Structure 1
Amino acid sequence: MLAAATSFFSRTAISQSYNIGNPNGSRSSTPTPSGPSASVTHTLPASVRVGLWKVQGATHKVTSKRVSVWTFDKRAEMEGLGPLSKERVLEVMKAEAAALSKLRHPSILEMVEPLEETRNELIFATEPILSSLDMSISRGSHYTSLVELDEIEIQKGILQLCKGLSFLHSSAKLIHSNLKPECVIINEAGDWKISGLGLTIPLLTADGSPSKWEFPGFDGRVPPYIQRSFDYIAPEYALDEVLVTASDMYSLAAVMYAVHCKGKPPFQNHGSLGGLRDNAGRPVPDIGDLDTDLQDLLRSLITRGSQSRPTPSTLPSHPFFSSLPISTLNFLDRSNFTAKTREEKISFMKGLTSVLGRFSEGLRIRKILPSLLEEMKDTHLLPYILPNVFVISNILSPTQFAQLVLPNLKPLFTVKDPPQNMLTLLDNLEMLQSKTEKGVFREQVLPLVYNALESEHAMVQERALGVVPDLCETIDYGEVSGVLFPRVALVFTKTKLLSVKVATLVTFLSMVKTLDQTNLTQKLCPLLSRIRTKEPAVMMATLAVQEAMGSKVDREAVASLVLPQLWSMSMGPLLNVQQFQRFMTVIRKLGDRVEKEHNQFLRDSQRIEDRSTPANGVASPNFDSGVDFVTLVGRNNANIKPDTVIDTSKSWDDDVWGSIFNDSHETTGQSVATSTIQTISPPPAPPTQLPLTQSLPSSPRLVTDTTLSRPPRFGAKPLPSSSFDRSTLATHPQPARSHRISSPPSQLQSISTHSTLPAAAPQKPNYNISLGDISATPSNTFASPPSYNAPNYTMTTMSPHLMSSAPLQSSPLSMTSMLTPMQPTRIVTASKPVTKDDWSDFDPLR
């Protein structure tokens, strides 16, 4: 319970409001080590020591404001001290915190939370700091400084201390009297701030009288931090017992000397007044290797008397501080820059780019970059500030860029005027992409490109189109096809400027290798087909896009979409000979591709079809495949229609094939002519060849023959009967005889007039067609041709459109078409007269 109570009473408002000990509290923007030239090349520890103070980074629990919390542990730091010494230590420590809370100046450490005291500690909070100057002085290769300092940063820091001393002397009427490296603080921005104000001496007392001199005694029992250092104290203060502000200028010179000489003061007096007296008035030692201007400055400050020393207001005019980088920093200082005119600011920003390389990385990040970002509120200065911002951003890590720069750039991505802003941002888009994560770039940076494409300024649109090719290779395909390509296409359709039109075509050319065939054929090709201008620049740019697409899309798209437009454009009246030849070269190239690929496609298709025919059991349309007709017909005997009459006296093995009676035309006659196809198996003896004069003519004539009477009870018109003109088929009359094929009652009987031709070979049937003499059979009997040794097939009636489309001696495909039944018909036998009962199942509407 005692421990809990002690912990409760030791809690302070600072400890309750802040997360103390957060490493990011005071160093979130500390640069990541990037090489030996980096100004800040080491990761800072979780806490630093400044005299007796322990300084830790902290973050406010609500506002996330970052501070540095200073804590003095009474028990640890005053262990072993007597009561008077403890009282003296607490007095100086409290006086230091109280002075910081009262004094407000850019060169004095800023207090954020006032001092709080508990039983065990003193605690207050200030602005975030990096280190004390004492811990940042380079002391050799074996010593690691927290902040590496170059000459420009040292000069800048000395000038800042001069401003702080000027404020103390003239405004606060104080003498610091204890200025030393431990009392100089480097904040997060790299600025040097005055601290250690626990031993300040007022020039005047409360009643206005001059303050009394205090003996600067040194007590070895008390920590050195709360005592004036005899190594940095002015001789006139210790020896002459005078209080003058010039004493602080001596201490400032001793600090400058220590910074340039690895932390050693000009004279080491070891806390002895006698040593101080002995060294007073001696020349400054070991300055031969320093800059001549610096040597002259140190000699004018480290003197026995105070009258000749420069003051804080005159010191900046010394030649040592007249370098261009220092003048640049002075001009950029907030107190000076805000008073400059816009023309002066623009001139300064133009020249700053060439000077930035002379500053250290740490100084650029901690000092110059924040000043530039603060001035970005003036949009008229943005075209001149942004180049400098991007030069510094190149040395930032992605984390630093996301924290320091990107939040200030986001509002600019939608600002379209002046157009120079977007031009500068687009020129540095690659750097923006390299410094941001993929998701952040898509959500926060890509809108810059989309807004630039919608700009009213042609230069901005062209610059935005110029960055699209690189984006296509780095961002997701869905973003390219779904967002980026439609926006470029919108620019292409709306623009009326020739340069922008050509720029969009160049962009399309780069996007061809990224887009898939669907987008190319369904979106880009129709878009290009709308081009109506005859300007050679547009036509040649379109030719390049079409050529690229022609090697990526399929042959159908090339033949139907690409080539037609190229042929149309090639006739442009403004093209010269070389441009026309270029069109012809591309057309021939793409045409050869289409021809080659389509020929290969047709050959592959034919090969696949030929291979699949035997497996499927279906005859190929090519009747030259060698399939035997007898085998083909015999295989299909199970599919004969029920109306077919089959002669049971002959076996199907004898290749008996009934013909199909087909009537399709009506005439004024009263009878129906029938056609019969007879199949006769070849005898074993060789066939007898017919004379050449009995061969079929190439184009037989169709003649009207007699008709069969239809029963009058149906009231239907008689059907026509057509047959071949007998005179065209043979030179000699042929005897007629009737032939009947008997069939079961369930099948249709087929009778026809026969005329035969010899077969081409004895082992295969042939097809012989001739006209029977129907007029010789008035009693409805049909003539049969004389028997020959080879089987023959005879037909007298045929559809006129079949006979007119191809000769009878054409390919088997024509014969197959002629033998295909058009509609079911009623066929009567030759030996039985046709009666009305034979038409009982005839449907006149069928």
Structure 2
Amino acid sequence: MKTLTQAFAKTAAVIEKTVHTTVQSAVQEVTGPKALQDYELLHQIGSAGPGLAWKLYSAKARDGTHPHQYPTVCVWVLDKKAMSKARACAGLSKAVEDSFFNLIRADAVRLVRLRHPGVVHVVQALDENKNAMAMVTEPLFASVANALGNVDNVANVPKELKEIGQLIGKSLSVSSVGCRPNPRKVGIVVFHVIALKGSRRETVPVGGDTNCTSHGRGVSIEMGLVEVKHGLLQIAECLNFLHNNARIVHRAISPENVLITSSGAWKFGGFGFATSTDKASGDCANVQAFHYGEYDTEDSVMPLQPSLNYTAPELVRSQASSAGCSSDIFSFGCLAYHLIARKPLFACHNNVKTYMNTLTYLPNEAFSSIPQELIHDLQRMLSANESVRPSALDFTGSPFLRDDTRLRALRFLDHLLEKDNMQKSEFLKALSDMWKDFDPRVLRYKVLPPLCAELRNLVMQPLILPMVLMIAESQDKNDFKLVTSPVLMPVLSNAAGEAMLLLLKNAELIINKTSSEHLESHLLPMFVRAYDDSDSRIQEEVLRKSAFLAKQLDLQ
């Protein structure tokens, strides 16, 4: 009897579990993957991954009761139904579709396992149903491909890209070295950025893609050379980690697989083609070479191999040789070249003959737009001889990076919280004379966030506040509200002494950019405290600014 009761109980548990799973599956088919249930999509910010198949959305959690590390996140969405329809229209087999989705799944699994500041942080792992795949990561700005002008799979180019980009014509007078321009592509973009050398401004070509379109539109970001340097340095440091600690060869380094976070950091994604360094060096039979056609072809809607424009020659040959870390260095060199020379080194439309001809007969003129201090290292990175290529760590010591004082300043800011007050004080005094050399994007994404984080340090406030307020002058109200206001309001509530005097001197700036709610809750109480302060300078300043505050409060 006891055995029979146990059997009934076991059967009931199995039935209950089956029913629960069936109900969950039915709900998911209606509501979509878990990420789409838990997060509200705000707007599309870009696209990423192989073939730019992923749509990237800014999103916020639906349930505010759950603690979240980020106020907003990035939800990655892949429309399986649309991809399947595009695959059928392109005449590809179902096997290609299955292989592509497996590639996406492998990438998502790697992203969850890899924990490093240079790898995109996954907040919620990949989930899928028959219609879509979705996962959640830290907030992102866009992929580097989007920054270079390729906004494929972006229905509406986001406002942030439009505001800092520029569209220039629909033709380009120069094409990539040894390659023909693609007449099928329109919306060609060229742009220049300002780099500072000493006190003289120079125009340096950075970015732009000769093969980038989306619905007839081209977009490019005014990305300064120092920002590109900082991004390349971050990627090189992560690559050093992947090769020497994680023991991974990425094998697909390209603009589509490098992401720019909302705070301006450059990070790796796109690990679908990755393999272990042990397998790559020990058993070449398991590291299959990629097979590209010997004629021009359009990019596949479901690419099952990395972009030929960024793939190392040893991975292109019909029989794989040593597909090790040096393969990533070659791809990294192609990425660096594209970012700095404003065009890809290879633009071969998946034509392996054109690729090999370009590589074999690469003229010195190809490096004419590359800074002199980078040419030697870049030529080594792009060598067909794997043994000549430097390591990722070697690249971080390149004069191109090492001799740039602005880059060294950004690196110090990256680790500002780790320094003692004496080191911070010396650095901030030097930075006060240097900050004008940075372009607006660097100030917004690279300089301001660490300075704002340091405002909690009362000792450093008198040194940091002037720079934060100077940068705030160039911000619009929305940018000020999102970035500066959340850290400045607590300072207003507790300001005293020199910090209070400085804030009062800049009161008009703060009043013009602050909401009426914050004026009443933070600025007005500071004014009241200032009236009672024993410092006559503070009393005089608050009397001068009171009329302006009263006028703004009356208007609002």
Bin the TM-score by the shorter chain: 0.7 to 0.9
Distance (Å, rounded) in 2 between the aligned partners of 1:477 and 1:408: 22
Once the two structures are superposed, residues 61-119 of structure 1 have per-residue CA deviations (whole angstroms, 9 ceiling, x without a partner) of: 12383111111122211331312212211111111111111112111111111111101
- What secondary structure is seen at the aligned counterpart in 1 of 2:491? helix
Residues 575-586 of structure 1 mapped to structure 2, 5 A cutoff: none
Whether contact under 8 Å (2:128, 2:134) holds in the other structure is yes
Distance (Å, rounded) in 1 between the aligned partners of 2:136 and 2:243: 25
Once the two structures are superposed, residues 693-738 of structure 1 have per-residue CA deviations (whole angstroms, 9 ceiling, x without a partner) of: xxxxxxxxxxxxxxxxxxxxxxxxxxxxxxxxxxxxxxxxxxxxxx
Does residue 73 in structure 1 map to residue 79 in structure 2?
yes
| Higher radius of gyration, 1 or 2 | 1
The alpha-carbon deviation at position 410 of structure 1 amounts to: 2.5
- What secondary structure is seen at the aligned counterpart in 2 of 1:59? strand
Distance (Å, rounded) in 2 between the aligned partners of 1:378 and 1:10: 46
Whether contact under 8 Å (1:133, 1:186) holds in the other structure is yes
Aligned residue identity for 1:245? C
Question: 1:292 maps to what in 2?
Answer: 372
Question: 1:775 maps to what in 2?
Answer: none
The alpha-carbon deviation at position 153 of structure 1 amounts to: 0.9
Question: 2:227 maps to what in 1?
Answer: 153
Q: Which of residues 119, 131, 137 is equivalent to 1:120?
A: 131
Distance (Å, rounded) in 1 between the aligned partners of 2:391 and 2:503: 46
Question: 1:62 maps to what in 2?
Answer: 63
The alpha-carbon deviation at position 339 of structure 1 amounts to: 3.6
Cα gap change, 1:138 to 1:114, in 2 (>3 Å): closer
Distance (Å, rounded) in 1 between the aligned partners of 2:459 and 2:520: 28
- What secondary structure is seen at the aligned counterpart in 2 of 1:78? helix
Once the two structures are superposed, residues 610-667 of structure 1 have per-residue CA deviations (whole angstroms, 9 ceiling, x without a partner) of: xxxxxxxxxxxxxxxxxxxxxxxxxxxxxxxxxxxxxxxxxxxxxxxxxxxxxxxxxx
Does residue 227 in structure 1 map to residue 308 in structure 2?
no
Whether contact under 8 Å (1:132, 1:184) holds in the other structure is yes
Whether contact under 8 Å (2:78, 2:133) holds in the other structure is yes
Question: 1:370 maps to what in 2?
Answer: 449
Whether contact under 8 Å (1:89, 1:222) holds in the other structure is no
Distance (Å, rounded) in 2 between the aligned partners of 1:408 and 1:376: 7
Distance (Å, rounded) in 1 between the aligned partners of 2:383 and 2:357: 13
Distance (Å, rounded) in 1 between the aligned partners of 2:134 and 2:548: 55
The alpha-carbon deviation at position 258 of structure 1 amounts to: 1.3
Residues 343-382 of structure 1 mapped to structure 2, 5 A cutoff: 343-382=422-461
TM-score, normalised relative to structure 1: 0.50
Question: 2:33 maps to what in 1?
Answer: 12
Residues 20-419 of structure 1 mapped to structure 2, 5 A cutoff: 20=41, 22-23=42-43, 48=47, 50=49, 51-63=52-64, 65-79=71-85, 80=88, 81-137=92-148, 141-142=168-169, 143=189, 144-145=218-219, 147-205=221-279, 212-218=286-292, 222-223=300-301, 225-239=303-317, 241-262=321-342, 264-283=343-362, 285-321=365-401, 322-334=403-415, 337-415=416-494, 419=497
- What secondary structure is seen at the aligned counterpart in 2 of 1:186? strand
The alpha-carbon deviation at position 7 of structure 1 amounts to: 7.2
Which gives a bigger RCO, structure 1 or 2 (Cα 8 Å, sep 6+)? 2
Cα gap change, 1:15 to 1:269, in 2 (>3 Å): closer
- What secondary structure is seen at the aligned counterpart in 1 of 2:367? coil
Once the two structures are superposed, residues 130-163 of structure 1 have per-residue CA deviations (whole angstroms, 9 ceiling, x without a partner) of: 2211121159613442633111111111111111
Residues 658-669 of structure 1 mapped to structure 2, 5 A cutoff: none
Question: 2:522 maps to what in 1?
Answer: 444
TM-score, normalised relative to structure 2: 0.74
Whether contact under 8 Å (2:292, 2:316) holds in the other structure is no
Cα gap change, 1:61 to 1:309, in 2 (>3 Å): same
The alpha-carbon deviation at position 361 of structure 1 amounts to: 1.3
The alpha-carbon deviation at position 286 of structure 1 amounts to: 2.8
Question: 1:666 maps to what in 2?
Answer: none
- What secondary structure is seen at the aligned counterpart in 1 of 2:141? strand
Question: 1:463 maps to what in 2?
Answer: 538
Distance (Å, rounded) in 1 between the aligned partners of 2:495 and 2:80: 60
Give the root-mean-square deviation of aligned CA atoms: 2.9
Once the two structures are superposed, residues 380-425 of structure 1 have per-residue CA deviations (whole angstroms, 9 ceiling, x without a partner) of: 11111111111111111122223322222222234355x2222222
Once the two structures are superposed, residues 7-52 of structure 1 have per-residue CA deviations (whole angstroms, 9 ceiling, x without a partner) of: 75453322221112x13xxxxxxxxxxxxxxxxxxxxx56546511
Cα gap change, 1:298 to 1:416, in 2 (>3 Å): closer
Whether contact under 8 Å (1:185, 1:193) holds in the other structure is yes
Aligned residue identity for 1:74? K
Cα gap change, 1:271 to 1:423, in 2 (>3 Å): same
Does residue 425 in structure 1 map to residue 482 in structure 2?
no
- What secondary structure is seen at the aligned counterpart in 2 of 1:130? strand
Higher helix share: 2
- What secondary structure is seen at the aligned counterpart in 2 of 1:380? coil
- What secondary structure is seen at the aligned counterpart in 1 of 2:278? coil
Aligned residue identity for 1:349? L
The answer to which of 163-172 and 446-455 deviates more is 446-455
The number of equivalent residue pairs is 447
Whether contact under 8 Å (2:508, 2:548) holds in the other structure is no
The alpha-carbon deviation at position 377 of structure 1 amounts to: 2.2
Whether contact under 8 Å (2:115, 2:121) holds in the other structure is yes
Distance (Å, rounded) in 2 between the aligned partners of 1:217 and 1:161: 27
Q: Which of residues 479, 490, 512 is equivalent to 1:434?
A: 512
Whether contact under 8 Å (2:237, 2:396) holds in the other structure is no
Aligned residue identity for 2:101? L
Distance (Å, rounded) in 2 between the aligned partners of 1:46 and 1:352: 32
Question: 2:16 maps to what in 1?
Answer: none
Aligned residue identity for 1:328? A
Aligned residue identity for 1:330? R
Distance (Å, rounded) in 1 between the aligned partners of 2:514 and 2:371: 43
Whether contact under 8 Å (1:258, 1:265) holds in the other structure is yes
Whether contact under 8 Å (1:57, 1:69) holds in the other structure is yes
Aligned residue identity for 1:141? I
The alpha-carbon deviation at position 476 of structure 1 amounts to: 4.6
Structure 2 runs not aligned, ≥5 long: 1-24, 151-166, 170-188, 190-217
